Every structure is written in structure tokens, then in C-alpha cells.
Amino acid sequence: MESLEQIKARAEAAVPGAKIDIVANPGPSQQSSLLIDNEHAVAVAKLLRDDPALRFDFCSNVTGVDWLDRTVKKTVKVKKVVDGVEKDVDETTEEKLPGYLEAVYHFYSMTHKHGPVIIRMRTADRADGARLSSLTPIYRSAEFQEREIFDLYGVRFDGHPDLRRILMWDEFVDYPMRKDYREPDDYEYEPTPHDDVLEKAKQHYSPRPQLDGAENITAQQQ
């Protein structure tokens, strides 16, 4: 299999305007990935599938990732006059980086028996209605997995043939896999609220009115 750098160069040459970066993975797997801009993601995926030297013809899995807003501290040296003498002084600055959502795809080649190559796409932010291009028209096996990311993270995939919830019921609000998700006490629309969920829901029930003796007997008979 070609190196990630070679695959990146091949894709950039074949898809004019594509913005592709290599995202290093410092973990034990050392599986770095290609970050592809949303506008050219479908064209790059088609190249990965159809290029005779690559033939990444199988999408094994698609996962979602939520990256929260974060503040990064940077230390830089600046020149300042201290006691009448110009010196290099360390100064700490803070940079606020907006969060985003990602879809991560693993591709293998059944033809050449190599892989994986991992690609990423990122949304502009974490707001409702965050969008990415669907790769289901290129890899049919991505269909249900993109629906799962839509359901649990709130990413809308443009070009998906059947984008609807797959795990949660239609009336469910919010996205359970987001890192700032908070589980509600009362699942108002849950079809089968059992056990601990039912106990939480009971806290929101209106208290039953107190009945006198005659009314209590009538209620029991009913």
C-alpha cells in the first residue's frame, strides 16, 4: 500500500482544489488519517474507491467524534524593558478554539488486500444543523452508520438517501453522544419507560388527591 503522503499527493493531483491534511495519531496504533474538506470529500472518496492503484472498495465503519470548545494556552517570548534593560520575557496568551463534530471513515481494499486508510471530515461548529457530505453514494455500507451519527451527534449528511433516526425515537430531543449531553429525569416520549427511568419519571407526576373514606372505597371498586 502507498504511504499516506503518497495517497494525499495522488488525491490532490486528481481532485483540483481539494484541501487534505495529514492528522497524526500519537497513540499505540499510529494510524494517522487524512482530513478532507467537505466540499471535495465525495470526489476524493470516489478516487480512493476507483483508482486502480488504490481500490479502497470497502468502507468497514464510520464513527462520530465530538470536540468541545476549548482554550489553548501558549507561551511566547516577547521583548520588554525591565529595570531599564530590554529582555526576552515569557508571556502566556490564551486562544479560544471553537468545537466541531467529525465523521471518521475506515476504508480497506478487498481487491489489493491492503488498508486501512482513514479519512476525516469536520463540521464548521457544533451548532444544530451542522452538515457534512454523505459518502453513502460512494460506499453503500456507510448508510446506516451515517444515520447513527446523525441520530446521536446531530450531523446532517447532505446527499444521504434516507437520513432519519435509527436508534432514538422520532420525538427524542438532543443528541446523546455529545459530550455536553445531560440525561433528563423525565423521558416524556419514551415508548417503554422501565425500571430506573420510570422511577425518575414518577418524580414529575402530579400528586394524587387525597380521598375520604367513601370516595376511597368507590375508587377501589372502580
Taking the CA atoms of residue 194, residue 195, residue 196 and residue 200 in that order, the dihedral angle to the nearest 10 degrees is 60
According to DSSP, residue 185 is labeled S
The pLDDT value recorded for residue 219 is 46
Q: How far does Cα 94 stand from its chain's mean position?
A: 26
C-alpha cell belonging to residue 99: 468545537
CA nearest neighbour of 107 among 145, 152, 142: 142
Q: How is the chain split into domains, by residue range?
A: 4-67+100-181, 183-222
Question: What is 4-67+100-181's CATH topology?
Answer: Beta Polymerase; domain 2 (3.30.460)
- The whole-angstrom separation of Cα 3 and Cα 8 is 9
- The whole-angstrom separation of Cα 54 and Cα 115 is 9
- How many CB atoms neighbour CB 65 within 10 A? 15
In which residue ranges of the chain is pLDDT below 50? 219
- Which element (helix H / strand E) includes 35? strand 33-36
What type of residue sits at position 11?
A
The predicted-structure confidence for 25-38, as pLDDT tens digits, reads as follows: 888 888 999 999 99
- Which element (helix H / strand E) includes 75? strand 70-82
